[in-house]
Amino acid sequence: MLSIDLSGRRAIVVGVADASGFGFAIAKALSEAGASVCITTWPPALRVLNKQISLGKLDAARRLGDGSLMSFEKVYALDVAYDQLEDVPEAVRQDRRYDDCGDFSLSGLVRQFATDFGHNALDVLVHCVANAPEVKKPLLETSRGGYLSAVGHSSYSMVALVQRFAPLMRPGGAAVSITYVAGERVIAGYGGGMSSAKAALENDTRVLAFEAGRRYGLRVNTISAGPLVTRAATALGFIDRLIEAHEHSSPLRERLEAAQVASVAAFLASPLASAMTGTTVYVDHGFHAMAWAG
């Protein structure tokens, strides 16, 4: 029987804050396939996440097919806005939500990972980060700072992660990110520069696939997922209407489940996808193919 087997492999999933998003679902799918999984979460969400885990509030969501609970090798604090701890503004340093998080910069994460596991210790890198402070604003009203923040958080962070983690990855490694059809078609109201950030992420996927493929033998793909009620999506203010439109117009008139995206991520991370790189894979019930459903 052909199956996804990630036994003996280690993954890190960047952007897990709760059990509702793609990051958590992907971590679970990788665990089901046998991988050891580390996660990162935004520092202000770290305490809440750890408390929910310790109190058993996520036990139902963590339950694997064999009845055991998914566990994380490590849970790291990470704010993808900062390459180095020296880049962090004083106001953020003084924010109590960042207390006891150590070096939560991108470079700090990679150094701590190397300390914990050594070099040649990572097989799968997953990017599930999206944020735009002005996401509710039309592009015509988006400030330079809001636009650059959206691109920095949501697309450049993938570039920065591949830059830093690729040298630590074993041969045959894979990187996967999550994008959205707004990167290539207009989704009214998906503002603040987020559509541009997704377009950049998809183009960067192709360029990183070439550069990291030639230099490190790393495969890089992205999944264009349909709409889902997540923390990031809720910030739009109209996610329910997007989901209804998706269900109405898609060839397969169903609502997307995070597990459907997660299983494709596990496939892309596995040897079964060893010849796939530089690709945008649509997991949206075919919504991307439609112009008008009638």
Catalytic residue check, 155: yes
Question: Does the pLDDT value for residue 234 go beyond 80?
Answer: no
- pLDDT bin (cut points 50, 70, 90) of residue 235 is confident
Report the predicted TM-score, pTM, of the whole model to 2 decimal places: 0.96
Q: What's the pLDDT at 280?
A: 98
DSSP sequence for 7-45 = TT-EEEEE---SSSSHHHHHHHHHHHTT-EEEEEE-HHH
At 150-202, the pLDDT tens digits run 999 999 999 999 999 999 999 999 999 999 999 999 999 999 999 999 999 99
List the catalytic residue out of 149, 155, 263, 270: 155
- Picking from 265, 263, 256, the residue whose alpha carbon sits closest to that of residue 288 is 256
Q: What's the pLDDT at 229?
A: 85
> Distance from CA of residue 132 to its chain's centroid?
15
Catalytic residue check, 136: no
Question: Does the pLDDT value for residue 231 go beyond 80?
Answer: no
Residue 10 has φ and ψ, to the nearest 5°, of -120, 135
- pLDDT bin (cut points 50, 70, 90) of residue 263 is very high
As a 3-state breakdown, the chain gives helix, strand, coil percent values, each rounded to 5, of 45, 15, 40
Q: What's the pLDDT at 294?
A: 76
List the catalytic residue out of 31, 157, 198, 250: 198
Give the CATH number of domain 10-284; options: 2.60.40.10, 3.30.530.20, 3.40.50.620, 3.40.50.720: 3.40.50.720
Per the prediction, the chain carries an average pLDDT of: 96
**For 6-10, what is the mean pLDDT?**
98
Q: In the structure encoding, which two tokens stand for residue 33, read together?
A: 């396939």
Question: Does the pLDDT value for residue 233 go beyond 80?
Answer: no
Q: What's the pLDDT at 232?
A: 74
At 131-154, the pLDDT tens digits run 999 999 999 999 999 999 999 999
Which range has the worst mean pLDDT, 1-10, 80-89, 233-242? 233-242
